[in-house]
Every structure is written in C-alpha cells, then in structure tokens.
Amino acid sequence: MSEWLADGWLRGTRHLPSPNYGERPPGSQVSLLVVHNISLPPEQFGGDFVEQFFTNRLDPAAHPYFAEIAGLQVSAHFYVRRNGTVVQFVGCDQRAWHAGRSTWRERENCNDYSVGIELAGSDTQPFSAAQYAALWRLVDALRQRYPIADMVGHSHIAPGRKSDPGPYFDWAAVRRRYPELRLAAEVSA
C-alpha cells in the first residue's frame, strides 16, 4: 500500500485542508523542500493557532499580534508540532502559499516547485528530537514521490525578508542523513 493518497496527501498525517493553495504551473515538478519555523503567538507553542491561521479561521481578537496577520492568506503543506505530530494542509501535488517572493538557484516563485514544511519553533530555541524524527519521515516519503534535489530554509530563498528556520535548525544533521541533497548552507542561491 502506498504512503500517498490522491493529489499528494500523505497517509498517517492529520489532514486539515487549507483554502490557500493553487495549481502548480503546467510541467512544474517538485524538486525543492523549504523548511520554516512558526509560533503563534510569537515564541509560544501549543494550541491550534497555526492551524487556524492556515485555514483562515484565526480570531484577530484572540491576541494583539493576530490583528496584524489575520487577513493574510498563507499555508504550508505540512506543520510539525513540538511533539512530532504532523498536520497536512495542502496536497503536495498542489501549490501551497508558503514562500512568498522567493528565488532559488536563479529560479523565481519557489511555491511553484517546492513543498513547504513548517516546524513549530522560533529563531531563539532548538527544535525537538520528535520534530526531527517527523521531519526525516516526511523527507523520506517526499523523496520517494518527487525528484527532490535541494533542501533550504525560508531565509535562503527570501534573504533579508525571512530568517527561518533560524540558527537552531540542525543543518549538519540533515547533511548526515541526506548526503546527496544540495543544502542551502552549501550552495549559493
């Protein structure tokens, strides 16, 4: 039995469809993984605020910061909670809205050819062992379905605009596990 359902939905993840997605351009092939971090409110974990944000249900009155972002329409393919639980918002055959203005290796619009993975976290603290274990499972499954060649952080495809996944993301662990991937820290954008 395949790990994948129709349209790039992964078995074993919680499916919470986001309205914030689109079709990939004709002929576009997934070849890039983009790692992000997110915490809502900033520096706080737990609760369902990220899920609400990616499904356009975030209450702007629930926290002062939410009033600034509640109108944004964004998504990622996957969200990995601190305990390693994975939520999928967009089928990987579709284009999630996670990268914004972005360029990788002289190719613009990274949303067109990437999968976005959000880790519950921030630029100020390490990620959990459970998150890395879940990330490895995701990367392994994605590489079985798509010709993934590169793995980058949001900061690498939107330099000066974004800083995630931040200084605590363990790129050395990624290199040890996936020596054949081109990593952002080793390739200039």
pTM, entire model: 0.96
Distance CA 76, CA 174 (A): 20
CA distance 95 to 21: 5
Instruction: Give residue-wise pLDDT tens across range 58-76.
Output: 999 999 999 999 899 999 9
Are the C-beta atoms of residues 33 and 72 closer than 8 Å to each other?
no
Q: What are phi and psi of 33, to 5 degrees?
A: -110, 130
Domains annotated on the chain, with CATH? 6-45+75-186 (3.40.80.10)
Set 108, 118, 180, 186: catalytic member? 118
Catalytic residue check, 118 = yes
For 74, 89, 125, the CA distances from 71, given in Å and listed in that order, are 9, 18, 28
For 12-60, the pLDDT digits (tens) are: 999 999 999 999 999 999 999 999 999 999 999 989 999 999 999 999 9
127-158 pLDDT per residue, tens: 999 999 999 999 999 999 999 999 999 999 99
Question: Residues 93-115: pLDDT tens digits?
Answer: 999 999 999 999 999 999 999 99
2 — pLDDT class (breaks 50, 70, 90): confident
